[in-house]
Each structure stands twice: as structure tokens, then as C-alpha cells.
Amino acid sequence: MTQSKQCREWSDLPRIAWVTGAGKGMGRALALRLARENWIVHVSARTVDDLEELAKEAEGLSGQIHPKPLDISDADACAETLQAIISEGPLGLVVLNAGTHIPTPAKDFQLDDVNTLIDVNLRGTVNCLAPAMQTMRDQGFGKIGVVASVAGYKGLPSAAGYSATKAGVIALCESLHPELKAEGVSLSVINPGFVRTPLTDKNDFPMPFLMEVEDAVTCIMKGMSRNTFEIAFPTRFVLILKLLRLLPDWLYFRITAGMVR
């Protein structure tokens, strides 16, 4: 039986990172935090202007930010982007943050909307994860963080497509984690609740335990530095949702029926 390798400590990683979904919100804040801590951060998003503004904002920091525009629904482009990054040195950290949300209530269930969520949140994540995993398996070290959501714990009204894709991402990471750990690669699934970002600013409903983006980034950095598998926040909201997951169906649906009303 092959002996498992130890995952490298945070301080021993090459300080080269790749962050997707870095144009706005949590990915942008994470990239800036890493750059402040002397990382060379390659950032991807579809909007070139957002990435260029981010790189300009990072000027003068101890690290660097390099824009790598990317549509994660294009698998070949994802692989090519990663090859361009590792041509500059070994990769220490990948955070796959790109994703989107579209309401999918039963009364207005649009197939195109669900397929968009699948293409971005699930297929797009896999398009980036596959080459990142292979790179780090070849290296024998590295840390990967994949952003899912607490909405993946259990199906939520009006979020059928979103919950389904995030549940898929969580299951994907649960399956891969022990295999990658045995090869010295640390895989974390990041499950945020409500974080104040341009995406959540569009919500027209109450968002319990709304968290500031810098606090969310602190949770991510702390969890990944400790090789934590599930990095979930804010704590009180996570605990409530995990308790709901344990309820029998009849009681869970009684509670969510109130959300429909």
C-alpha cells in the first residue's frame, strides 16, 4: 500500500496563486489580500476591465496581480490559462471562486437559466479543477479551494438550479478530498452564507447574518492555511442550516413552505 504524503504547510508553499471569479466581490478581495501578503496572484474573470482595475489597485503592494481573462465555460481556455501560469513557476494555491446565481422558482422555471447555472457553477468549476488537480498531483503539493455555498446543504425554494449546482460541487469535493490528500494535495470546499458583494446586492429579500467581504476572506485564508476541508461561514447561519438538514422531510418542508409564502 502506498504511503500517504503530508500536505505542505502554508508557509512552505510557492507563493504563486490562481483565483477565478476575481473581478468583483469575494474573489477580488481575496486576490488583494494575497497580494498584500507577498503572493503573485493570477486573476481570472470574463470582464477585462475589472481585472485591469484590480491589477492597478494592487500596485505598490508587496505581491503582484496578473490578469488572466477567462470564460470558465471554455474547458480548453481553462487548461491553457493554467499552463500559462505554471510556465512562470510552481503553483502553491488555487481558489475557484467563479460562479453565478439566477433565481429558479417553480412558477417561472426557465430551462436556459438552469443550464446557465450548470454551465458556470458546476461545469465551469470542473473545467478549472481538472487541470489544477493534475498540476498539483504532478507537483506532489498544493492547496485548492473550491467555492460552493451553504445553499448546497439542502434544496431551497426559488433556488432549485443554484442549490443543485452547489450541492454537486460539495459532493465533488467530498469525493476527491481523500484521494488528493494521499498525494499531498489539500482540497477545501468553501461554503459561504450571505456575503456583501455585488451579487448579493441584487437580492430583494432579507439576508440573515450578512457578512462583510473582508471577514469572509479572513475565514478562507485561515481555513486553507490549516488544511480545513469545509470552510463555512458565518458560524451561526451554518449551524442553523446544518440543523435543518437533519430534520425529517415533513418538518423541513413545513419550514420552507413559510419561505414560499
CA distances from 207 to 98, 106, 225, 241 (A): 21, 21, 29, 13
Q: Which three cell numbers stand for residue 201?
A: 446586492
Q: Where are any strands of DSSP class E within the chain?
A: 16-20, 40-44, 64-67, 93-96, 142-147, 185-192, 230-233
User: For the chain, how big is the Rg over CA atoms in Å?
Assistant: 18
Q: Which of 141, 162, 194, 237 is the catalytic position?
A: 162
- Calculate helix-pair angle for 125-139, 75-86, nearest 10 degrees: 30
Given a contact cutoff of 8 angstroms between Cβ atoms, the answer to whether 194 and 208 are in contact is yes
Closest CA to 201 of 79, 24, 12: 24
Q: Which residue has the cell 476527491?
A: 176
**Exposed, middle or buried by CB within 10 Å (0-12, 13-18, 19+), for 72?**
buried
Q: Give catalytic status of residue 162 as yes or no.
A: yes
Any idea which residues carry the catalytic annotation?
A: 162
